Amino acid sequence: MSRIEIETYTAAWKFNRTKTLQSLEQVEKLPNPSAILGWRPGAGRAHCAWQWMHIAVTEELFATSRLFGQEPGLSPFIERFRGGSTPDDEIPDLSTLRESLEVSRSHLLKAIELFNDEDMNMIPEPIKDRGWSLRTVMQVLAWHEAHHQGQIHLTLNLWKNRL
């Protein structure tokens, strides 16, 4: 059973995560990181902490409920940070962000270990209505983190250059 395609996607995920964690490390080194975590670039816009938690929650949802119909971990955060949620003013601290990213990534990698390249065209039953194959899920997850890391990067740059 081949895992070349799966390993290619997971390698992209690992690379993307290095960029996400670099942004988190950048915030850790700045004065008053908690002020940065909750800063919004505009009214109703998401702060960096929401972006990081959204990445973690999305991976957790795919590792559990969206691939297997199981209850997700990170339960206190799922509704607050899932897609379509409205960012609130209860800002997670740096250790919560880092831990959530680590836990959800670990769960996702364990979930993907159950598949082989022969499964890439399979459409998981819990997301059958989306019509997404396992390949599409893996592509979306690679894009998703990069997309939100870009939003984090932009928000940090705006914060550094605010008047």
pLDDT digits (tens, 9 = 90+) for 36-77: 999 999 999 999 999 999 999 999 999 999 999 999 999 999
| Cα–Cα distance measured from residue 158 to residue 41, given in angstroms and rounded to the nearest whole number | 7
> What residue spans define the domains of the chain?
4-160
73-107 pLDDT tens trace: 999 999 999 999 999 999 999 999 999 999 999 99
Q: Is 21 exposed, middle or buried (0-12, 13-18, 19+ CB in 10 A)?
A: middle
Q: What single-letter DSSP state applies at residue 64?
A: I
Considering the segment(s) 4-160 as one domain, its CATH architecture is: Up-down Bundle (1.20)
Higher-pLDDT residue of 73 and 1 is 73
Which residue, 59, 50, 49, is CA-closest to 16?
59
